[in-house]
């Protein structure tokens, strides 16, 4: 395959500052403590918002996301049917896992963790600055399926007016 520089730039490059984060990407988006900005670079992956288009489209066997997490914020307990890798780029990250989030460890900048298939996991930013996380989820968009959320997360999200439509994507019921 021969690809010229113009085509490479157009179809295979995502420039920081040009990729916009998405707002409500998951059912937990309105819950206190779960604020974050997701920059979808490659593949839609497990996002629950129909409007999300990655910066680099096409079939890839993985998805890449940059996650910008404000101080004290994070992600609720959830699991995937594929592996998920977290790599904090500019600070520490608390990773929790287990059916009730009963386990936790702290990653330092540039550490890496690969979460196994089906394990409930979440994370939090313990720093005094926004944390940037490089995340990779295995599988193509059609293979990765949906996220499985802890039942407490689904109940709390329902109380905020955010729910799923008949196709499994987010809808505002407020």
| Higher-scoring residue by pLDDT: 53, 115 | 115
Distance separating alpha carbons of residues 152 and 63, to the nearest angstrom:
27
Architecture of the structural domain at 32-162 = Sandwich (2.60)
Q: Which residues lie closer than 8 Å to 93 by C-beta, 6 or more apart?
A: 86, 106, 107, 111, 123, 124, 125, 126, 131, 133
pLDDT one-digit tens code per residue, 88-145: 999 999 999 999 999 999 999 999 999 999 999 999 999 999 999 999 988 766 566 6
The residue extents of the domains of the chain are 32-162
What is the reported pTM? 0.89
DSSP 3-state of 12: helix
Provide the token pair at 148. Answer: 């499985």
Q: What is the dihedral of CA 106, 116, 132, 77, to 10 degrees?
A: -80
pLDDT digits (tens, 9 = 90+) for 160-171: 988 888 877 788
């Amino acid at each position: 395959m021969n690809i010229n520089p113009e085509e490479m730039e157009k179809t295979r490059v995502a420039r920081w500052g040009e990729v916009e984060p998405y707002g409500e990407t998951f059912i937990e988006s309105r819950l206190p403590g779960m604020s974050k900005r997701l920059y979808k670079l490659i593949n839609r992956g497990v996002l629950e918002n129909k409007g999300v288009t990655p910066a680099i489209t096409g079939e890839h066997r993985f998805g890449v996301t940059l996650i910008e997490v404000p101080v004290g914020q994070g992600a609720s307990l959830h699991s995937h049917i594929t592996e998920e890798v977290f790599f904090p780029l500019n600070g520490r990250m608390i990773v929790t896992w287990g059916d009730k989030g009963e386990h936790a460890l702290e990653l330092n900048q540039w550490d890496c963790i690969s979460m196994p298939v089906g394990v409930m996991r979440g994370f939090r930013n313990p720093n005094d600055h926004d944390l940037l996380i490089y995340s990779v989820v295995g599988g193509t968009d059609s293979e990765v399926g949906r996220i499985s959320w802890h039942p407490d997360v689904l109940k709390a999200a329902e109380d905020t007016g955010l729910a799923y439509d008949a196709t499994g994507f987010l809808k505002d019921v407020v």
